[in-house]
Structure 1
Amino acid sequence: MTDNRKYEAQKREYEDPHEDVAPVPWILLLIIAGLFSWGAFYIFNTHFRYAATVGDHRVPADFAVPETEGGDIDGHQLYVAQCVACHQATGAGIPGVFPPLVGSEWVLRKPEVLVQILLHGISGEITVKGNKYNGVMPEFRDKFNDAELAAVATYLRTELGDNSVDPVSVDLVKAEREKTADKTDHWNGDADLAPMEE
């Protein structure tokens, strides 16, 4: 190829692209300057009412479950902390997903069965008030001590159930815990719990 033909080929090519200078719009610069000025004005003219030393000085003991006036543990607070997400604040549960506790036969009949449910949880199909549920309820044997389990069970039976029933005692919880101390898995719904009701 001759030099003349090279030159003709180069003349047919487009120039290499390049960026044009695109300055920031002046209106945007005015907005930024206005925001900066307002922020500076706000910071220098705000009078904080609290000293810098004020803050959250709570310790883990402040989050412990409080006791009621009689020295008993507040079962309602334990219920709110651990059970409300599934069974709701009213204990009505979520239809088709989480069973209700209000009026539940498992809550109101034998307190021993309720304690076993709290201790070891449930997996598999369970019938509550004529409706079938199939899910998993966690166990609380390692999370709650005997007094806390008794408080939750009592709250479920009296406040969400029938306030004429007797409270669940710590001794009953202790006995039920010892009776199934070797159990490490969940109860299998109706299949395991129904025989306990007999």
Structure 2
Amino acid sequence: MNEQNPNPPSMTRQGMDYGETSDVHEVHAAIQREKREPRVGLEPLSMWLIVVYGLALFTGGAYLGRFSGNFSGDSLDIAYIPPKKAGPGGGAAGGPEKELTPAERGKKIFAANCQTCHQANGQGVPGQYPPLAGSEFTTGGSRRMAMIVLKGLQGPVKVKGQMYGSAVMQPWDKTLTDQKIADVMTYERSDWGNTASPVTAEQIAALRKELASHPESYSEHDILAAPDEDIPGGAPAAGGQPPKPGEAAKPAPPK
């Protein structure tokens, strides 16, 4: 039998450090063949990605410049009419701009806030929402009507001999400004055959201050207990004379 050499030949080769073996060299060679691990943040952006970002920024800027309304809250106001640009002669382009009347502004406010219940023709919904056309509250003094608009109305109410009690009139004192309330009341009191006196923002401001201590909505009893008169400081009705308490304004004479 061949006896095993108790001292096998050394695995150390020329060029190796002391204690290294060929196995270590093989491991190093395998590591050198592998690709270097990528490092985050050092890779350049793709040119296509830069182009896409640039187009997105340009498109967004152009859209904001066209439709942002100069980032003004007036652009969200349905009654706001932006001024026209000046023409070559210094005036507005296309001639002088026509300013909306209070009733015209009020019609826009009515369409956005009141038309759903009271309908475009002012006739309301039978049994649910009372009419404004020919209503004693609309054509009478502005005080009672303004009390309803500012503070709201709860409970049944009789209008033109019919009872309405299934709906609640919400208060608008915290939603609409004095001018908007005056405009919408002026529209309602002058359309659908109504010819009551117009209402001004100063009148609404005075009544708002007077009713500041009344936090809840009114009932029909509360409204009827108030005098049927115009709020002091208003203009006369279209007929030239303000209506008497409890009476609708007379129509203006034909021109």
- TM bucket (normalised to shorter chain) is 0.5 to 0.7
Alignment of 1:106-185 (within 5 A): 106-134=137-165, 135-163=167-195, 165-185=196-216
Write the deviation string for residues 152-174 of structure 1: whole angstroms up to 9, x where unpaired. 110110123423x3211222111
Alignment of 1:30-179 (within 5 A): 53=59, 57-59=67-69, 60-64=73-77, 65-66=79-80, 69=99, 72=102, 74-134=105-165, 135-163=167-195, 165-179=196-210
Structure 2 Cα separation of the partners of residues 71 and 130 of structure 1: 33
Q: TM-score, normalised by structure 2?
A: 0.52
Which has the larger share of strand?
1
* Residue 70 to residue 95, structure 1, CA distance change in 2 (3 Å): closer
**SS of match in other structure, 2:154:** strand
Q: TM-score, normalised by structure 1?
A: 0.66
Alpha-carbon contact 1:86-1:98 (below 8 Å) kept = yes
**SS of match in other structure, 2:168:** strand
Write the deviation string for residues 90-142 of structure 1: whole angstroms up to 9, x where unpaired. 11111111111100000111101111111001000110110111121100001
Alpha-carbon contact 2:119-2:125 (below 8 Å) kept = yes
**SS of match in other structure, 1:127:** strand
Structure 2 Cα separation of the partners of residues 125 and 71 of structure 1: 34
Aligned structure 1 segments of 4 or more residues deviating by more than 6 angstroms = none
Structure 2 Cα separation of the partners of residues 129 and 61 of structure 1: 39
* Structure 2 gaps, min length 5: 1-57, 82-97, 229-255
% identity of equivalent residues: 29
Instruction: Count residues in correspondence.
Output: 145
Aligned-pair distance for 1:71? 7.1
Structure 2 Cα separation of the partners of residues 89 and 71 of structure 1: 19
**RMSD (CA atoms):** 2.2
Amino acid at match of 2:224: A
Structure 1 Cα separation of the partners of residues 194 and 170 of structure 2: 24
* Residue 179 to residue 87, structure 1, CA distance change in 2 (3 Å): same
Aligned-pair distance for 1:57? 2.3
Corresponding residue of 2:225: 195
Structure 2 Cα separation of the partners of residues 167 and 180 of structure 1: 20
Structure 2 Cα separation of the partners of residues 85 and 70 of structure 1: 23
Write the deviation string for residues 14-59 of structure 1: whole angstroms up to 9, x where unpaired. xxxxxxxxxxxxxxxxxxxxxxxxxxxxxxxxxxxxxx94757244
Structure 2 Cα separation of the partners of residues 150 and 61 of structure 1: 18
Amino acid at match of 2:177: N
* Structure 1 gaps, min length 5: 1-51
* Residue 83 to residue 71, structure 1, CA distance change in 2 (3 Å): closer
Write the deviation string for residues 64-108 of structure 1: whole angstroms up to 9, x where unpaired. 122570675700000000001111111111111111110000011
**SS of match in other structure, 1:66:** coil
* Residue 71 to residue 87, structure 1, CA distance change in 2 (3 Å): closer
Which has the larger share of helix?
1
Alignment of 1:19-38 (within 5 A): none
